[in-house]
Structure formats: structure tokens, C-alpha cells
Chains A and B, each alone.
Chain A
């Protein structure tokens, strides 16, 4: 199997017939007399693996070994040892890292969900432009650097292909955090959310972009909390029965601005629920009522114990409503949750 852009094959003839490989004795696979889950390899794969075993066993560092590792990885991108070998070869041969990044890009078009590929890329980028050097420059100059521009473009196009590719988002977080590209990230997130308001990966990235790597105990200032509430509610208004903005805003505030649950979020969602245009959608979505339970519980925590009862009773009544009307699928959970209201 050959992938466009992964130009490792100079000579398509079997390796056994190639002059360049005459000196190598391939090592056959010994699967024993009774293998488990043996794979019906193609002859091509079987042959190239015999040669790869031979060069790896000898610890060979050469251009032909690099090309062969590439062929094997294209056929079997899960060959974790071939990746380790390839990384070592790229270093030992002082290969052009830009060319290697192109190779990885071509491979990822065919295997976007392969773990090793993304980690290989991470190691290459770090070598090409170590973060320590990059961070000596201001952010706008870092962004203008061709290495980072290329990486942002690469991960952007991976997300164009599949806006929820977990590895792509993970790689993007590595890039943004390592090279401190925080200032540009919210705009990217906003673009992704506008493309699909139900893209939970994008909402998760919003949390990442707002927190900027700070600890879970960080408290956000009131203005920022208010702005995030407004943003979330604007998107809730667009599609109320959408898990992501609700989970985002409740989760963000519970951790980082708990008072804003009552001060900012509650009035806005109540207003939306009272608006005739939105009332039916709001009252039928479990996320609205679930948010109210969280808000009332949090509010109660801020009060002296003697004053908590009305809020906790209200929270329990909402659990009943969820169990019997709004979220019957999870009715057992809501009955359980009712008993736990006010416990923590």
C-alpha cells in the first residue's frame, strides 16, 4: 500500500530482487507452531518486515532503513517499534525535519486516528523549533514563524476533515500550551463553535483557552465569568437541548466563579425560559433543569445551614420533575440525586 506524498518507494520491485538490498539476509517471522490471531499478510508486507527485522536487529542507521521504516509504517501504522526506530533514524541521519513533517502529514490523511503519528510529529516540532527558543519572542512573532504557522494549519485541516478528532485537539492543546499561543485560541474556538454548536470538543477547548493552563482552583474575575455566561447563553438560545454549552458554563462556574451561578447564569436562563419563544424548548430540555439543581445546591452552600431548606427543597422538586417528566431515561439517577441533594 502506498500513500500519496509518502514517497519512500524508489524501486517498486521486491526487495529480494534489488541490488541495494543484496547484502541483507531477511529475518523470517517465527510465529511458532500454534499462533494466536495470525494475520494473512500480503507477500509485500511479509517481505518488507523480514528486511526491517534484519536492519533493526543490526541497529543499522541508513537512508534505506529510513525508507523501509516508512513503507512498513504506511502498511502498519501501529508498529510502535518501527516508529521508535524511525525517530532515531531521522536524528542519526540528520534528515530534513520539514520533509519528515510532510511525510507525517501525508500519512495522517490516511490514518488520522493513529496515536503514534501525532507523538512523532510532536517530537519533530520540538526539535525543529525548541519551545525555549520560541518563548524568547513575543506571541505575534511566534505566530508568524513558519514552523508554528504550518503546525496550526496542519491541525486546522485535520479538524476540517473531522471536527471531533480527539488526537488533533490533543495535539493542538500541546502546541498552544507549549508555545504559549493563548491569545489566538479563543478566536479559533469561536470559529469551530459557530461551525457546529454541538461540537463538544470545541466547547472543551474553550475551557482550555479560558483557563490558559491555570490550576483547577483558580478563581476567574467577575467580568470574565459574566462574559462566558453571556457567550454560553447565546449559544443555548440557538439550540437549548445541547449538552455542551450547559456542561461548559455550569462546570466552569462551579470551579472558577461559583457565585456567578446565581448572580449571572440563573437570571439569564430564567429569562429565556420565561420568553414565550423559548419556553417550550427550555422547559423540555433536561439540561436546563439539571443546571437549576446545580445552581440551587451551590447557592445553598453559600448560606448558613438554617437558611438552606427552601433552596434544597426546590432542588429536590426539580429532581422529581426530571425523574417523572423531563428526563425519564435517567429517572433512577434523578431519584438517587434527590436523596443526595444538600449532602455535599
Chain B
């Protein structure tokens, strides 16, 4: 049977991205940690991580990641940075110049695990302390101090980090759950904040967050939320009603459906077909058929695909975006 995904081409694509990104991606400079995580989980899902990255390179990558950890971080400033663009930690009088970021910390921990590290050099106290400082009264989380951004993306990161470290002391689960329940919308979908439009990305962050906290039962109607998620399928998955399908929602919405127990209710062949249409001839996947690929759409398309081919691909945890052990 012919391979359904161009595994070699995608593995080469991820290797290429890990080695060098072009100047056009400068706006990703503060999120390199997340791009790294996506490339690594993409390779892991393809079963090509160890082939593509020899042990020596993996060890060097681990060093780069740990170099982004804020040593002795306190308050909201602990954790990992999104890249090396911020400069050395020890020369800063101005604290925000070098703060951790919850998304970067989550990506760092996942990347370390994918590279075979045991997390023994993670300053767990600082990370959990940062999570605690960044939770808001409303239950949501800011990514770092000094911003009014605070939405389910960072609730998810806080929950994922707490799960990985086995330490939930930084998260007030009742408050976080309350916030997420407030994000349930009239159409059964979930979103960023009460009254905003139901959105597949925030759906994932809310559902995965609840699941990690063991609070899925807090959803007012699991059936209506599952229906909203399933109805995003029109060929591939759309992120919002009446929008074009985009391959990254194969993960955001696809994984949410897995978590909600709806795997058997999906029209697998249509999802798989759409993801295949998004494969690029130069390797990687693009958001829409025929566009240029990028690491996010490549990784999430491949993981979304793997949910429908369990006999061919390793099982990736929908809640953590890591190989399930």
C-alpha cells in the first residue's frame, strides 16, 4: 500500500527548519521555542526524530533550550524564554528584558522531553512560581508580566506545564475552570473570553485544559460542544463557522474531538483527504491546498492525520501534543 503521507519529504522539511529559517520569518524570532517544539513533534509523529537528529545534535539542542531558562527566576519572570533574542540574563537591570513566557516554557518542556531529556535541570520552583504569579483573579492566565493579554492559550500552557512537572500548586483549578466555563458560547463552541466568537484554537485550549485538570464534567453540555466541533468539518476542519477549512484545525478541532470522545463520529476519509491536499511538493504542509508550507501547519496537519491512522503512526496525546507513553 502506497504511503499516504510524503514522510521523507516532511522529515527533510522539519530538519531544514530546525537548521535554519529564512529572514522572512523574523516575526517568529520570539517564538523559536514553539517552532522548535512543532518541528520535533512533527518528526516524532513521523517516527523520524532519531534518524533525522543524531544523538550529538539532540544533546546540543537540549543545551540550547536550557540556555533559554531564566536562572533564579522569581515572580512572573521565571521559566523559559521564546528565543535567544533577548540577550544574556545576567546583564539586565530591567527585568522584563528577560522574562519567561508561559508558551515558551510549555514548548521548552515538550521539546526537552522529545529530545530525551529528563527535565532534571528545570527550575521547577521558578516555573510553578511564575504560573502562580501569572494567574488572574478571573481564573485566566497572562503569558508574562506587563501585558493585558490573558486568554485560554495560557490556561492551557499552565495546565500542560503542571501536568508535565507533576506539580499543580501554581494553578487554582476552580478559578481556571470557572473562566473556561464562562467561555462557552451560545452555539456550543468555546472562545477566548465570554461573548467572543467560538473559535477552534480556543476550543482546544479550553477543552484540553479542562481535561488535564480533570474537570471536563464542568462543561454545561458536552454534547453541544462535541456537535459544534464535529460541524466544523467541511472537507477539512474550519476554525469558525462559515470560514474556509485550514489544516491546523485538523489538530485544534480534531484533538478536541478526540478528548470529548468523538473519534468514531468523524468522517475520517474526508479529513485525511484534505490533509493530503495540503501537502506541499517541497515538503511540509500549508494551511490551504497549494500554498507555501510552514512548521505550524506541517506539524499540526501531521498530528491531526495520525489520529485517523493509529496503526501507522505513534499515538500522540491530544491533550499534550507529546507521544503518549
Instruction: Give the size range of B's interface with the partner.
Output: 35 or more
A332 to B230, CA, bound (A): 10
A27 close to B (CB within 8 Å): yes
Stretch binding the partner chain, chosen from A10-18, A147-155, A247-255, A300-308: A247-255
A79 nearest in chain B by CB position: B30
Cβ–Cβ contact B21 & A344, under 8 A = no
- Whether A77 contacts B27 in the complex (CB less than 8 A), given A32-B67, A57-B94, comes out as yes
A255 to B30, CA, bound (A): 42
CB < 8 Å neighbour of A37 from B35, B185, B233? B35
Minimal beta-carbon separation of A52 from chain B (angstroms): 9
Cβ–Cβ contact B99 & A81, under 8 A = yes
Q: Indicate with 1 or 0, residue by residue over A184-227, a CB within 8 angstroms of chain B CB atoms.
A: 00000000000000111100110110010100100000000000
Stretch binding the partner chain, chosen from A95-103, A137-145, A162-170, A230-238: A162-170
CB < 8 Å neighbour of B147 from A58, A75, A119? A119
A108 to B147, CA, bound (A): 18
Stretch binding the partner chain, chosen from B55-63, B284-292, B297-305, B308-316: B55-63
Contacts of A207 on B, CB cut-off 8 Å? 185-186, 195
- Whether A84 contacts B96 in the complex (CB less than 8 A), given A39-B32, A204-B198, comes out as yes
Cβ–Cβ contact A76 & B30, under 8 A = yes
Cβ–Cβ contact A36 & B36, under 8 A = yes
Q: Indicate with 1 or 0, residue by residue over B39-54, a CB within 8 angstroms of chain A CB atoms.
A: 1000000000000000
Cβ–Cβ contact A330 & B267, under 8 A = yes
A340 close to B (CB within 8 Å): yes
Cβ–Cβ contact A81 & B21, under 8 A = no
Stretch binding the partner chain, chosen from A41-49, A264-272, A274-282, A310-318: A41-49
A141 to B83, CA, bound (A): 47
B95 nearest in chain A by CB position: A59
Cβ–Cβ contact B186 & A200, under 8 A = no
B29 close to A (CB within 8 Å): yes
Cβ–Cβ contact B91 & A251, under 8 A = no
B216 close to A (CB within 8 Å): no
A324 close to B (CB within 8 Å): no
Contacts of B120 on A, CB cut-off 8 Å? none
B148 close to A (CB within 8 Å): yes
Minimal beta-carbon separation of B104 from chain A (angstroms): 10
A87 to B101, CA, bound (A): 18
Cβ–Cβ contact A38 & B21, under 8 A = yes
Contacts of A242 on B, CB cut-off 8 Å? 242
B122 close to A (CB within 8 Å): no
A76 to B60, CA, bound (A): 27
Number of A-B contacts (CB under 8 A): 213
Cβ–Cβ contact B147 & A166, under 8 A = no
A254 nearest in chain B by CB position: B186
B18 close to A (CB within 8 Å): yes
CB < 8 Å neighbour of A57 from B84, B91, B233? B91
A298 close to B (CB within 8 Å): no
CB < 8 Å neighbour of B97 from A35, A85, A115? A85
Cβ–Cβ contact B147 & A29, under 8 A = no
B223 close to A (CB within 8 Å): yes
- Whether A39 contacts B30 in the complex (CB less than 8 A), given A34-B64, A80-B101, comes out as no
B188 close to A (CB within 8 Å): yes
B92 close to A (CB within 8 Å): yes
Cβ–Cβ contact A170 & B196, under 8 A = yes
Cβ–Cβ contact B26 & A344, under 8 A = no
Q: Is the interface of A mostly helix, strand, loop or mixed?
A: helix
Cβ–Cβ contact A39 & B88, under 8 A = no
CB < 8 Å neighbour of A329 from B17, B18, B186, B267? B267
Cβ–Cβ contact A85 & B28, under 8 A = no
B325 close to A (CB within 8 Å): no
CB < 8 Å neighbour of B25 from A39, A243, A255? A39
- Whether A170 contacts B192 in the complex (CB less than 8 A), given A56-B97, A57-B92, A57-B94, comes out as yes
Cβ–Cβ contact A37 & B18, under 8 A = yes
Cβ–Cβ contact B22 & A40, under 8 A = yes
Minimal beta-carbon separation of A211 from chain B (angstroms): 7
A123 close to B (CB within 8 Å): yes
Minimal beta-carbon separation of A114 from chain B (angstroms): 8
Cβ–Cβ contact B27 & A80, under 8 A = no
- Whether A58 contacts B94 in the complex (CB less than 8 A), given A76-B30, A211-B195, comes out as yes
Cβ–Cβ contact A39 & B146, under 8 A = no
- Whether A200 contacts B197 in the complex (CB less than 8 A), given A36-B18, A37-B32, A39-B21, comes out as yes
- Whether A58 contacts B93 in the complex (CB less than 8 A), given A27-B88, A243-B242, comes out as yes
A81 to B100, CA, bound (A): 10
B187 close to A (CB within 8 Å): yes
Contacts of A76 on B, CB cut-off 8 Å? 26-27, 29-30
Minimal beta-carbon separation of B98 from chain A (angstroms): 8
- Whether A80 contacts B144 in the complex (CB less than 8 A), given A53-B86, A56-B94, A57-B94, comes out as yes
B317 close to A (CB within 8 Å): no
Cβ–Cβ contact A344 & B223, under 8 A = yes
Cβ–Cβ contact A84 & B186, under 8 A = no
A83 close to B (CB within 8 Å): yes
Cβ–Cβ contact B241 & A200, under 8 A = yes
B268 nearest in chain A by CB position: A332
Minimal beta-carbon separation of B40 from chain A (angstroms): 9
A329-B270, A340-B223 given; name 8 further pairs at CB < 8 Å.
Answer: A36-B32, A39-B29, A40-B21, A78-B31, A84-B145, A88-B96, A330-B233, A336-B265
On B, residues with C-beta under 8 Å from A are 17-23, 25-32, 35-36, 39, 57, 60-61, 63-65, 67, 82, 84-88, 91-94, 96-99, 101, 111, 143-149, 184-188, 192-193, 195-199, 221, 223, 227, 230-231, 233-234, 240-243, 262, 264-267, 270
Can you show 16 pairs from A to B with CB atoms below 8 A apart?
Answer: A30-B84, A30-B87, A41-B29, A57-B87, A58-B93, A58-B94, A75-B27, A87-B146, A119-B147, A169-B197, A199-B242, A200-B240, A200-B243, A251-B187, A254-B186, A333-B227
